[in-house]
Structure 1
Amino acid sequence: MAEWFIVLSSALWFGVLTSISPCPLASNIAAVSFLSKQVDTPAQSISMGLFYCVGRMLSYILLAALLLYTATSAPRLSSFLQTQMNVIIGPILIVVGGCLLGWISLPTSNWSISHRLQKSLAGQGKLGALSLGSLFALSFCPTSAALFFASLLPLIIAQQSSLLIPSIYGFGTAIPVLMVALLLQFGSLKVASFYQKVTQVEMLARMASGGVFLLAGGFYCWLYIVPMLLG
């Protein structure tokens, strides 16, 4: 029970940290602002925001399921991950810490959703909002790529969970998005000021998380890799 609490709490925090990173945050604010202009009532606006968030969650679940299936369907890879996870998790955590601190940059996709496609999907109502969220979720920047592929994926493989863990991660990415939708609807959000404040919070959270990842990675390396090298 304690292990699952740590795993799910980590997945939730990875999701929140992903969502408030500058690149996803900017696209989320733009998407939710755009969607809110397509409807007339607060309930409709919040509903569109919810469907946008559900779309993001579905993309993460499907991607996690595909990656988990790929990892477990290859016998050699599956055996290696099951027996050597404790050995490789240390270097992985160090790499993620380096990414969060800006020392390492992972290659990511450069594709983006055109304004024309965004406008077309936004005009399709709830299904369009869900589709827009699904597409934006797959547009990884260096920070979100490090958090999903190098942090969340090892948890998914270790726990053999392609539904619960990515769902919690997706929910974490949805929390700031829903806050933006609510604040926009009630007219209490000045986008530029909000973005600046959240970016400052994100930088502090990312630096603190990066330090924790480095310490945890060093601890795992000390426990599992150093004895192998000395032996």
Structure 2
Amino acid sequence: MYNLLSQISAVLSKPFFNMANSLESWPIVFALILGLVGALAPCQLTGNISAVTLYGNRSIQRKIAWKDVTYFTLGKVVAFSLLGILVWMLGRGFEQNLPLYFPWLRKIMGPLLIFVGLFMLGIIKLKGSFNLLKLSKEYKHESPFSSFMLGLSFSLAFCPTMFVLFFVTLMPVVLASPYGFILPPTFALGTAIPLLVVIFVIWYLGGSGVIMKKGRKLGMVIQRMAGVLMLLLGIFDTVTYWSL
């Protein structure tokens, strides 16, 4: 199943990877396009589809989730920036040992998506102040911390493709460039491009809160459909990465 996901990823990312290689003399553009390639890596594909489903659903049901998307992207920026700093400080020995830890971090993502899917379906209910992905009626009270942590955790879902893109392809350019510290956060922004494009299209087409205007029942149907998709993605992700 992982091989199938890798083949799909290769087809989607090949044009962007070729573009990135042709732009290596412009490090910032190179890092941005390489991040877009990373967004299509096998280990990032299901996570990015999940983020699009989650924040797209919020935007259509209530209002454009710019704040949530911003904190989600910020989580990505922090994750990749910290990884870049660690490699720079600790050197190649640390870089070579990182693959020992990432597979376990990657395996957490599938169960997390299953949990979110069950929550959106109303099967799991949370009480108290904990609201990791709480879809409450009072949208304005949602904590941006949950979106930040989601972006952070999704960014640590590394696989061989993502490892090569970030550590083998990007980091040498980071270390050789006088403004290399900008490149890891630029790479992070590239990984968020698919989500940003979808939310922008919803905003541009005037889709903000369209479901709320047409009734809560339809909104609940959309939420349930999003929950089913998240659940299926979580099951697919778990089966794929727990079997490796």
Judge same fold: TM > 0.5, yes or no: yes
In structure 2, distance between residues paired with 1:7 and 1:148: 13
Q: Distance in 1 between matches of 2:146 and 2:178?
A: 31
2:132 is aligned to: 121
Find the residue that maps to 1:31 and give its secondary structure.
helix
- 1:12–1:171 CA contact under 8 A, matched in 2: yes
Alignment of 1:1-231 (within 5 A): 6-37=26-57, 40-43=61-64, 45-71=65-91, 109=103, 110-113=106-109, 114-115=112-113, 116=115, 120-123=131-134, 125-159=143-177, 163-183=181-201
TM-superposed deviation, 1:50: 2.0
Instruction: Give the secondary structure class of the aligned counterpart of 1:140.
Output: coil
| Structure 2: gaps (5+ residues) | 1-22, 94-98, 120-130, 135-141, 208-225, 227-244
Judged with a 3 Å threshold, the aligned counterparts in structure 2 of structure 1 residues 53 and 175 are, in CA distance, closer, same or farther, namely: same
The residue type equivalent to 1:112 in the other structure is I
Give 1:117 shift: 6.8
CA distance in 1, matches of 2:116, 2:153: 11
Distance 1:155 1:126, change over 3 A: same
Structure 2 distance, partners of 1:169, 1:10, is 9
- Identity %, equivalent residues: 25
CA distance in 1, matches of 2:52, 2:68: 8
How many corresponding residue pairs?
A: 154
Note the alpha carbon deviations across 1:20-41, whole angstroms, 9 max, x for none.
2343132112123224445753
Q: In the TM superposition, what whole-angstrom CA distance separates every residue of 1:44-88 from its partner, at most 9, and x where no partner exists?
A: x1321222111111100011111111129xxxx8xxxxxxxxxxx
RMSD: 3.3
1:35–1:129 contact (8 Å) kept in structure 2? no
- Residue range with higher mean Cα deviation, 11-20 or 46-55: 46-55
> 2:176 & 2:108 partners in 1: Cα distance?
32
Task: Return the letter of the residue paired with 1:50.
Answer: T
What amino acid sits opposite 2:107 in the alignment?
W
Question: Structure 1, unaligned stretches of length 5 or more?
Answer: 78-105, 192-231
Question: Is the 8 Å Cα contact of residues 42 and 159 (structure 2) preserved in structure 1?
Answer: no
